[in-house]
Amino acid sequence: MIKIFYGEDRVKARQAIDKLLGSDCEIIEAENLTTNDVASVFLGVSLFGDKRKILVKDLSLNEDCWDMVPNFVADCPHDIILWETKLDKRSGVYKALSKEKGIEFKEFALAEDPNNKLVGGILDAAMRGDKNALKMCEKVEATNNPYMFMGLMVSQAIKKLQYNNPKAVKTLKILAETDMNMKSVSIEPWQLIKMALLKISSL
């Protein structure tokens, strides 16, 4: 059995690992491995000849060793979990492993903050020039923290920058200035946020 666990929810991943391998499994930090060690991890037997239970952490960060993994999958007699913080699905190793019948991938993603969609909708409306962004903002004032709201707006704007949205740079500048003002001026935070949304909708 070889399983590859990845994702940001480290708590749930750890719970699943303990359930499958037990708390007394071998733990290998991949940063300490050399290419000479890889065969012994996947094929080496214990002194007692038993099937080994092994947890290998972040093997994909050790590129030389990670590249060797597909060579040992078919003959591996042990129960091994490769625990990755991130997994590059574009890599040749991932593509090779995904074709192997004996490999199981499992993602442990953090639950999305429901406020992300709310904030994203308001910011999207403003960036489209929709004046309803202000009304949408007013509806959530009573139940949201303005500073957390601003943080989420900045995160959403950064995502838009990554996708080359033409208004993203100017939007981020407005939000950065607003964020500074929220910490330094006496104007009510929600008022500053609405002023920022007005500026964004006018871009």
The predicted pLDDT at position 164 comes to: 85
Least Cα distance to 6 among 116, 113, 93 occurs for 93
Residues with Cβ within 8 Å of residue 199, at least 6 apart in sequence:
174
The predicted pLDDT at position 191 comes to: 95
Model-wide pTM > 0.75: no
**pLDDT tens digits, 27-57:** 999 998 999 999 999 999 876 667 899 999 9
The predicted pLDDT at position 111 comes to: 66
CATH code given to domain 114-201? 1.20.272
Place of tokens 């007394």: 24
Q: Give me the chain's average pLDDT, please.
A: 90
Record the tokens describing residue 181, joined without a space: 């003002």
The residue extents of the domains of the chain are 2-107, 114-201
Residue 93 confidence (pLDDT) above 70: yes
Beta bridge pairs of residue 28: 56
Its CATH architecture, for the domain 2-107, is 3-Layer(aba) Sandwich (3.40)
The predicted pLDDT at position 199 comes to: 95
